[in-house]
Structure 1
């Protein structure tokens, strides 16, 4: 392969990679990736209007776990097994369907929108303390009741939905 051919091929590959990177940047900034469902071939084959369907798939978000905190009067950290945050999302869905009139040849439309929404969670954790008191100068630690607590999981989400109907196909 000539060097000019290799240079041209490298330039084309670089351009394609840059275009794909530029196309992926807005989706990553939004936190979701749009997913269209192509139904054009089925519409042509059946000779009728089919619903338009699309969705959004959320991108997972990396989150740093909370570090253990030491508290005065305890031998072990406050959250011995820390709760780990896990952020993600619920997928979204968009549906637009034609509604045929019963008495004439016209159409109306109905839209259903379920936007992607954030989900924030914390996994269960564990807090425990040793059955010994803190040593003080000149004294040995003494025994005490051990402490154990299970930290409950947390789930936060705000899903929503939109339902619209109107005259015409509403394109």
Structure 2
């Protein structure tokens, strides 16, 4: 085999491996973990139709905190204790239970589907300022006195959960 043919073949194989590797999602990238609840043993032992239950548990994904912001005229930076973003999901639930044929033919189960919803949060933060100002050139470079300031940055919680309830 010629060296150019080997090089071309190696480039093609490398491209295919890279394409396959890029399409496969890593296990760490999952935002929720499915949790099935097996109830088949109850159906077989008691000879009744058992409900089907499954859930989704979220994985907490911490983000990078926002760095300090320096403001002119202050000795300490804004956001002395920065807010940390956390991303996760609300737990999901999927349930189906047998229904007696009271409703009519074709409706044998009632189901609830509440998928995991994205959840974005920011932890509380702290913003403080000292009782001294920055050096004042009018006062020979000495700082002036001011009231000390402290503020708690409120936490943030943002989500949009949904659910579907219906007959199956």
Tell me the TM-score range normalised by the shorter chain: 0.7 to 0.9
Deviations 1:98-138 (A, max 9, x none): 21214999761111011111222222211111111211454
Q: Match of 1:134, SS?
A: strand
Aligned length, in residue pairs: 143
Query: What TM-score results when the alignment is normalised by the length of structure 1?
Result: 0.74
CA distance in 2, matches of 1:33, 1:106: 33
Superposition map of 1:3-152 within 5 A: 25=25, 28-102=28-102, 108-137=108-137, 138-152=140-154
1:164 alignment counterpart: 166
Q: Match of 1:36, SS?
A: strand
- The structural deviation recorded for 1:52 is 0.9
Gaps of 5+ in 2: 1-23
CA RMSD of aligned residues (A): 2.4
Deviations 1:32-89 (A, max 9, x none): 1111111111101111211111111111112111111111111101111112222222
Gaps of 5+ in 1: 1-23, 167-171
